[in-house]
Structure 1
């Protein structure tokens, strides 16, 4: 049984891909691609949840005071970069890489639960090619 869809008079450039549709300059946000509408920053709820999961996991890891301080500083920098009016993915990637590298050197990634590794991985994926170093560190 086939389905028929009628869109009426559709004009202008129409591009559909990755869950986002652009029709004649009007930005429709659909699915998980929730980045920004009309100049207001609307962050992907999953990204907020992942940042919070990382923050919570840091509190449970066995880290020296210096390691914890460095990790919290890098995480705060990631949060600032992605929550800016225009997210700075390059800055976020640099700080996420530093955070992940520091946790690896401290041996904390091996002790961490899957929630931390998964959250780091999802943020790295959101960063696209800029997150490749983090994905490699995580072995994903």
Structure 2
């Protein structure tokens, strides 16, 4: 999806891709909390609260791939930028049900839950930060 966010520079808008939200992980957590009620009510409550937290994150956090950076927006406001030139590697865990996105920069590592379209994420990563073939 091409970004139509007014806070993104219009000169590079045609070069940006904003990932759509994906509510799979929050939904699984919320549904997992239901049968836990009978086994362990406190654990069920914690799982459900974490699921609701991830629903909120999926609704408000956006990843935008630009020509030079991965930008992270919260409620239309940019709050982090990760320049591709500083990336060393990335990986999406697990193949059948992707739940975690990992990337390493020169000075730090990052883990994000997969709360966005995983196919578009992989496409953008392969386009902007291709991994070396081993």
Q: Same fold (TM over 0.5)?
A: no
TM-score (norm. length: structure 2) = 0.35
TM-score normalised according to structure 1 size: 0.34
